Structure 1
Amino acid sequence: MEFGKVSTEQRLFRVQRRPWKVVLVSSWHSRLKNFLLGLLFVVVLSGCTSGSTRTRLATTTIPSPRLGEPSLQQTQLKGPESLPGPLTNSVSTWLAFSRWCVENGLGTPAILSSRPLRLATLTGLGEVVVEGGKPYMLLGGTAVFLAYPPRVVNSELLLNGLDLEKKLRPLACSRQNPQPIRTVVIDPGHGGRNHGATNVWDGSLEKDLTLDWAYRLAELLVMRGYRVFLTRTNDQDLSIAARVGYANSIHADLFISLHFNSVIPDQGQAGIETYCLTPQGLPSTLNRAFEDPMDSAYPNNAFDEWNLFWAFRIHRSLVTATGAPDRGVRYTRFMAVLRGQRCPAVLVEGGYLSNPTEARKISNPAYRQRLAAAIADAINQ
């Protein structure tokens, strides 16, 4: 059955708030009929003249969970100890990339090109390629944006110290294993009156496409033994505070927010982008005219290293599985759904609904299944 279409034979499903689980409720037609007849009988006897209240079934197969609106207290820091430490001068300077690689056990980089100066060295995740003036590095062929384009000074390629500490080191030099993922919260973007973008190919709405994508991902993860929660399970208008509070209340190990992009009237841009929260002290890749206070630290900044780890792994899997243009792992502060998370958190833009070619792919359920499978594979890798 295609998403959003309800046949006359459809049964009602219910989601339990404990590990994401679907329970079939059979023979609901007869139960509803008996209930309505009983209600009519009571109304006639009581002589009630007030208008009747209709219960409308959601057009999706699973109605929304009973999510309580969290208080502001739930999304604020518990205390100063939750914040990362202050910035130090040791990571706010420009460092020679070659020397940094040698000092961190990566060996002397090879010179791929002198004009422009392009260096490469091997890491556990593949070859890292850095080029003077280019705003991103390539790691195993996957683009990861830098805060500052590398500089060339006296034939030496220099990188910002915070880029090296907050972006390259966690991916190329980390010896730690990620915390085991058992509980995943999936956040289908938008909902209710917040339609999100519109698909230029068929007029479908982002809020419906993200919900379908979330269901597909949830099913794959449950089949692999994960506990999965959705912030919304139907066409529900849900605040950012509620999404953040919900994930924190169940102590998620990983939070994934699903979206699709659009830049109407421009129909040329295409590709997948994956976002995580900008580390303290660095400018964001994207701010959309919002303020970008570099000195600010948010609860989710305590997970900078693992935010990047999961953003990179998920992004690489998505680009590989779909063949979509690689628009890179990027950083932002204005996405409030990431700032308050108390676990590793990423936001995925699964393609451009404003691009006719990509919009047509996204409208195909098989393509959304591929998007879901790519994320599930990255988590279960």
Structure 2
Amino acid sequence: MSKLKQVPNGTETPVQAVPDDRSADTLLAQAAAQADRRQIIKDIIVSHYTSGATHKLKLVDVAERAGITRQALDRYYSEFKPYIAGKKDVTDLVDGTAAKAKVETQATINATEVKWKARLDQVLVEQEKEIAKAINSHVSTLMNNDIAMFESNQLRKTLEKQTRHAVELTKKNALLELELASSFQREAPLQSASNRDKIIYDVDIEQLCIHYQRTKNLDDFEDAKEAELVTIREKFARFATMPDVHVVLFADRYISRFSQFASRYITSPEETCLIIRLPLFSRTEINNFIKHIPSNFKKSLHVPYMPMEAERKAQRVFIYQRNALPEQEIQAADNADAPSMTWGLDEIVSFKVQVGD
């Protein structure tokens, strides 16, 4: 409707509406620019988390690299803030199995780096206490202060060097196992499609054993294991719309290395394969995990087998020689329920493990 304007003589005259200067082309251009900006922000976040960088990603840095202000990022692109802060899984921002696999692998590598750095720091703190105790027990109060200081410093340097070296070797070993399990992802251009479409989800039993040996608390061990499995279960949703997804469950009996199984497993070229370490032993526990797998996914269970108790014991000592498993966990693994197709599985594979494998 036209607006009316009051004139001095009391009559009203119509005022023409002011046309909007924005054309349809302008609006489309603005929408396209905003979409491009969103993609730029996505690329910045994903690039950070796949680069192996250990420092935190800051909002102000993302805004600067995206060419916008911090306020604009807050106002127009606030949905990205949880991803920038690391509170949401950055894998949700990428499309395609290969890209998701790359992000998942780098996140696992980053977590391993952080885990071993924390372990190194803890060992050094404990070593400081041991050094002080050793010095106090060996340095006589009658010794000359200068001699005592020199010898204690020499002892400290030697022990610190040995401790750092041992922890670094352990860390490198863990990373090498991880690299072996995920090498197909970094070499994807040179490998077949079956290897590129393979995503590995591990449960860090070794780290749980380290914590258990310090606390001797079996409840903490079980709770931590369950928490890692819940995290894996929550990742199924992102593959729900993909065709031909195959979930390969490795029924861990602690007699073979999951990293070797995962790296050697060859999947069909038509499948997206999710290989999962499953350290569960009762029918109830396994069924509770399987029920969270989408019904359209193919599900197979691979069970390692070693007939002799003495062989299983020797194998566990070999694999877990630095930090032993809880005895109750070993008993549960040896007395695990025999799997059945009635559990909702499409395939059950049992394979023999060689000693030392």
Shared fold (TM-score, shorter chain, > 0.5) = no
| Higher helix proportion (structure 1 or 2) | 2
Larger C-alpha radius of gyration, 1 or 2?
Answer: 2
Q: What TM-score, normalized by structure 1, do the two folds share?
A: 0.23
Which fold has the larger relative contact order, with Cα–Cα distance below 8 Å and residues 6 or more apart in sequence? 1
